[in-house]
């Protein structure tokens, strides 16, 4: 599953190696890949938090937090949602009913210049998945 997540992220333009998912780096792409693995293991494979933690070499509390972060990202960020959909499609899993096609502009506050928002991602065509 880690290979599928990293492949889907690479296809989307975010390069993360499988070893980096198991590593300790806390860069955003690595954290996102880890969280996606946690969520898929929990949602589709019905694994317990301690079992996921043992497989990924993390404490189960880290799994709970990482899963919550990626679920929020899937709900609010079209780019993360598209990667998730690509992974579950490749793994032949069914998407949860709460995952909807994202047809909006995701805007975040610019940390450097707070006076203007910045566009993170625009996704209006879900057909490429």
Q: Which pLDDT band holds residue 112 (cuts at 50, 70, 90)?
A: low
Bridge partners (DSSP) listed for residue 6 = none
Q: In the predicted model, what is the mean pLDDT of residues 42-65?
A: 92
Tokens of 66: 């990482």
The residues, any chain, with a CB within 8 Å of residue 50's CB and separated by 6 or more, are 60
pLDDT at 90 over 60: yes
State how far the Cα of 63 lies from the Cα of 49, in Å rounded to an integer. 6
Taking CA 18 as the corner, what is the angle to CA 12 and CA 22, rounded to the nearest 5 degrees?
125
Q: In the predicted model, what is the mean pLDDT of residues 105-126?
A: 47
Look up the pTM and report it: 0.72
Contact 88, 44 (CB under 8 A): yes
pLDDT at 122 over 90: no
Of 41-50, 72-81, 91-100, minimum mean pLDDT range: 91-100
């Amino acid at each position: 599953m880690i290979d599928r997540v990293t492949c889907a992220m690479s296809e989307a333009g975010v390069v993360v190696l499988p070893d980096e998912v198991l590593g300790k780096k806390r860069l955003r792409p690595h954290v996102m890949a880890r969280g996606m693995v946690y969520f898929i293991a929990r949602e589709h494979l019905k694994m317990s938090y301690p079992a996921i933690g043992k497989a990924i070499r993390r404490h189960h509390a880290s799994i709970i937090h990482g899963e919550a972060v990626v679920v929020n990202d899937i709900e609010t960020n079209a780019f993360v949602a598209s990667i998730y959909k690509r992974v579950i499609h490749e793994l032949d899993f069914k998407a949860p009913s709460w995952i909807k096609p994202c047809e909006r502009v995701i805007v975040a506050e610019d940390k450097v210049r707070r006076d203007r928002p910045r566009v993170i991602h625009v996704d209006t065509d879900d057909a490429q998945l």
